[in-house]
């Protein structure tokens, strides 16, 4: 049995407009919201998109040992356009933050669960839209951390 190596992990929920980011504690027990980045909608072809640059800076700032990116698999377990988009984003991110590894994890329903939890806490409307991406990133990272602990 192997234990999860010590170190902060970042969780990433990739959207078309925003990228939600969460982080774990160094022991890999708890994921917490970090921030939401705006997607660079018009990157120059010869430049790294600003959201990837900002994510790379967060990896350095938090001394992250791994980045976990949500893979939006559909309910039938297939990879649709959103999953292909997330995989392409993860590949670009991996190039930018190498040698820090990027891991894809099934994030089925993470935004739905995050929205429901926020609503249960009375966070609705514009306030919810402002933080739902971070909350989804927390769901993604927490599920991944829990799965890693179950394997040990």
Map tokens 């609705």 to a residue.
124
116 has a pLDDT exceeding 80: no
Region 50-62: what's the mean pLDDT? 97
Architecture of the CATH domain 9-151: 2-Layer Sandwich (3.30)
- pLDDT for 152 equals 65
Contacts of 143 (CB under 8 A, 6+ apart): 105, 107, 110
- How many CB atoms lie under 10 A from the CB of residue 128? 16
112 has a pLDDT exceeding 70: no
Q: Nearest CA to 89 among 108, 70, 117?
A: 70
Question: Taking the domains of the chain in order of start, what are their residue ranges?
Answer: 9-151
Query: 21-34 pLDDT, tens per residue?
Result: 999 999 999 999 99
Sequence-ordered strand ranges (E) for the chain: 9-14, 18-24, 31-38, 66-71, 102-106
Q: Which two tokens stand for residue 108?
A: 């089925």
Region 50-55: what's the mean pLDDT? 96
The percent of the chain in helix, strand and coil, each rounded to the nearest 5, is 45, 20, 35
pTM recorded for the entire structure: 0.87
CA gap 136, 106 in Å, rounded: 12
Region 93-99: what's the mean pLDDT? 97
45 has a pLDDT exceeding 90: no
- pLDDT for 141 equals 96
> Bridge-partner residues for 105, per DSSP?
70
Phi/psi for 32 (5° steps) reads -130, 155
């Amino acid at each position: 049995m192997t234990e999860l190596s010590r170190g902060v992990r970042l969780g990433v929920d990739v959207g078309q407009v925003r990228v939600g980011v969460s982080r774990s504690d160094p022991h890999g027990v708890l994921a917490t919201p970090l921030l939401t980045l705006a997607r660079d909608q018009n990157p120059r072809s010869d430049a790294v998109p600003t959201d990837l640059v900002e994510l790379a800076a967060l990896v350095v700032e938090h001394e992250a040992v791994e980045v976990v990116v949500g893979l939006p698999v559909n309910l039938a377990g297939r990879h649709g356009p959103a999953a292909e988009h997330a995989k392409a984003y993860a590949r670009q991110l991996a190039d930018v933050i190498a040698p820090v590894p990027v891991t894809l994890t099934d994030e089925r329903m993470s935004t739905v669960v995050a929205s429901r939890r926020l609503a249960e806490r009375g966070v609705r409307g514009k306030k919810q839209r402002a933080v739902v991406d971070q909350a989804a990133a927390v769901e993604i990272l927490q599920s991944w951390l829990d799965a890693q602990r179950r394997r040990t």
